[in-house]
Amino acid sequence: MTNNLEAQLLALQQEGEKAIAAAETLERLEELRVSYLGKKGQLGALLRSMGQMSAEERPKIGAIANTVKESLQTSLDQQRTTLEAAKIRSQLEAETLDVTMPGFYRPQGRIHPLNGIIDRALDIFVGMGYTVAEGPEMETDYYNFEALNTPPDHPARDMQDTFYLPDGNLLRTHTSSVQIRYMEKEEPPIRVVAPGRVYRRDNVDATHSAVFHQIELLAIDRGLTFTDLKGTIKVFLQEMFGELPIRFRASYFPFTEPSAEVDLQWNGRWLEVMGCGMVDPNVLKAVGYDPETYTGFAAGFGVERFAMVLHQIDDIRRLYASDLRFLQQF
């Protein structure tokens, strides 16, 4: 029996080394490893018959089995190294570039002036500790008006100003609705900036569009005052426009009290660039904040307005025309 098993082991070694040398892929090599040396492989099957041998025969067969196993493992390792090297060579050949071939010209893309203003403004506010928030462009009357202290008879609800939808919803007229949604989910203190597209029923001309972009900021905390608002706006405008004179004029917004317009002296004249104010206590109550404990301020501006001032663009419609001659200037 010993001679028969010894012959089978040597035959298995010879057969395995031949099959391994002929393997052309790493996948095939793994199949052979499992077939010969796996737990249920051919070598293991032969060795299970050693239980029927005498104590004198087992050491001899065990030594032969170890030799066969080591030989097959060595063959597997060598073939694996060969196949891996071949795979790398094949990959390098496939990825080789002919640097003598003529190239294809692809013009470099540019950042749209609106996107550039948005990115620049958000970088400034994020650097001041604000979190960027977004919300739906189709809004409910509650989030767009009621929660922002805008009563039903307010002019902003007029059909000439707002795009109402057949289901009773509307296209948001400002990104202030994002602030309401954010406050409903978060507890003070909060610092949030909300960029986005808004819609109003304006007649399109050189300075007006029915679709435009806003960025609004909101801060709620204990003890915030109008001085904090002025300081925040001053830092922001100086980062955007440089060291220029700024003034605040009393104004009115239904969701802030007191409210103000912010003007910037640009090229020798005053330009209105932002609206702002302290958050009205009714807005804080609408989201469950205690106005006796918390105060806050809000501000917002039109992105198109900033782009037209900074880039000296004379017509807002140029920003939407997709004219390469215009866009390549930026």
One digit per residue, pLDDT tens: the chain, 330 residues? Answer: 556 777 877 887 888 888 888 888 888 888 888 887 887 778 777 777 666 677 777 777 778 778 878 888 888 889 899 888 888 888 888 887 777 888 888 877 788 999 999 999 999 999 999 999 999 999 999 999 999 998 888 876 776 688 999 998 999 999 999 999 999 999 999 999 999 999 998 888 888 899 999 999 999 999 999 999 999 999 999 999 999 999 999 999 999 999 999 999 988 899 999 999 999 999 999 999 999 999 999 999 999 999 998 998 889 999 998 888 888 888
Q: Yes or no: say if 72 and 44 are a contact pair by the CB < 8 Å rule.
A: no
Tokens of 73: 């493992």
Residues 166 and 207 in one domain: yes
What pLDDT does 196 receive? 96
Q: Which of 37, 60, 94 is at the close of a domain?
A: 94
**Cβ atoms within 10 Å of 220's Cβ, excluding its own:** 25
Q: Are strands 256-266 and 190-199 parallel, antiparallel or unpaired?
A: unpaired
Q: In which region does residue 119 sit, left (phi positive, over 0), alpha (psi from -120 to 50) or beta (all else)?
A: alpha
Query: In the prediction, which pLDDT does 160 show?
Result: 64
Clarify whether residues 70 and 153 are in a common domain. no
Task: Mark whether 9 and 88 lie in a shared domain.
Answer: yes
16: which 2 tokens? 């395995």
Look at residue 104 and tell me if it is in a domain: no
Count how many domains the chain has.
2
Residue 51, pLDDT score: 63
Query: What are the start-end ranges of the E strands in the chain?
Result: 131-132, 138-139, 170-171, 190-199, 211-221, 246-253, 256-266, 269-279, 295-302
Question: Which domain, by its residues, includes 81?
Answer: 2-94
Statement to judge: residues 27 and 131 lie in one domain: no
Considering the domain architecture, whether residues 7 and 154 belong to the same structural domain is answered as no
Q: Could you tell me if 277 and 249 are in contact, meaning their C-beta atoms sit under 8 angstroms apart? A: no
What pLDDT does 154 receive? 80
Token pair for residue 135? Answer: 């919300």
- How would you class 70 by CB atoms within 10 Å of its CB: exposed for 0-12, middle for 13-18, buried for 19 or more? exposed
Instruction: Kindly state whether residues 49 and 146 are assigned to the same domain.
Output: no
Cβ pair 43, 12 in contact under 8 A = yes
133, 281: one domain? yes
Is 257 annotated as a binding-site member? Answer: yes
- The verdict on residue 100 lying in a domain is no
Peptide bond into 258 cis (omega under 30): yes
Same domain assignment for residues 54 and 171 = no
One domain for residues 134 and 71: no
Strand runs labelled E in 177-245: 190-199, 211-221
Q: Is the residue at 105 inside a domain?
A: no
Residues 19, 37: Cα–Cα separation, whole Å: 13
Q: What is the pLDDT of residue 103?
A: 80
Q: Which residues of 256-283 are buried (b: 16+ CB within 10 A; e: fewer)?
A: beebbbbbbeeeeeeeebbbbbbbbbeb
Return the sign of the alpha-carbon dihedral for residues 110, 111, 113, 114: positive
Residue 266 belongs to domain with CATH number? 3.30.930.10
